[in-house]
Amino acid sequence: MQLTAQTIAEHLGGTVEGNPLATVSSLAKIEEAGEGTLSFIANPKYEHHIYTTGATAVLVKRDFLPEHPVSATLIRVDDPYTCLGTLLGLAAQFTKPVYTGIEAGAFVADGVEVPAGCYIGAGAYVAKGVSLGENVKIYPHAYIGDGVTIGADTTVYPGAVVYHGCRIGARCTIHAGAVVGADGFGFAPDSQGHYHKIEQIGIVEIDDDVEIGANTTVDRATMGRTHIARGVKLDNLVQIAHNVEVGEDTVMAAQAGVAGSTKVGAGCMFGGQVGLAGHITIGDGVQLGAQSGVPNSIAAGRRMMGTPAVAAGTFARTVAYQKRLADLFAEVDRMAKEIETLKKIPQQ
């Protein structure tokens, strides 16, 4: 892939400052970029790299004012980071391998229609009653259970498992090792304390444009459905329990876990290792810092952190106080000794 700065600017709705015919063939971080590469500056703290970078062209904000001469061609855009994502998508079209057809060693049950552009890799298993949209890609050793529906342009990577009856929308990505539709964690103790399984007869329903990270698990519902709404992005090693609902465009970082029957709103952001208790409701737009523990429902728009989670500002102040505890205890000890000394002074 070789593109001129002018071509890139036109694609992104930007303008060129410098050589419009400067040609790039790859993307790189600003501090590592060399000749023939395109880089970007989205965070001002990295601005110093633009004066020494070897990049041929750099994406910058429209209002960027360099303090020193810049040798690279500048492509001015509204949002360099978003534009970089657009270019990475374009680059992926050139760099990712494209597979079609059914490879030797794949199993496709009788009666399953494989539409145009689909790919089913060696060792993959597609069970009876499966419905596939156009251009679905099922990589080697993936398992698609009975009656599963997968929408057009969805990719299921190697070793991923989709249990029976689950529904996956269009343009989704299910990464390697992910499991969609395993049984929810339902057991009931008898009078002797022995646990007996509660059968999980629901499904998982995943809407369009969802990404499920590697080794992430989304459990099927006890009854009804576990629902992942449009545009949700789940990182690797995330656990979504039975009957959970996750709203549109919510994102969760690695090792986040949501317990059963909890409802998560739209546009939420969860950091790594966030844990949510079951049967609670998280409002739209809630942001939870890494390792937050959430035992109760949270109203829309809150920013919280800690265990149990509190307002982000309160958490920050608490951490600041904790750092001063040793000094505070020392001061209290000093004052206590001073008081004891004063008590020994005879009263006039």
Q: Which residues are catalytic?
A: 242
CA atoms within 13 A on the CB side of 146: 0
Determine the Cα–Cα distance for residues 332 and 151; give it in Å rounded to an integer.
66
| Rounded Cα gap, residues 348 and 340, in angstroms | 17
> Nearest Cα to 302, choosing from 319, 314, 320, 317?
314
Distance in angstroms between the alpha carbons of the first and the last residue of the chain: 94
C-alpha distances (whole Å) from 231 to each of 172, 207, 244, 250, 259 are 9, 8, 16, 7, 21
Q: What's the DSSP call for residue 298?
A: B
Which of 225, 257, 264, 228 lies closest to 242, judged by CA? 225
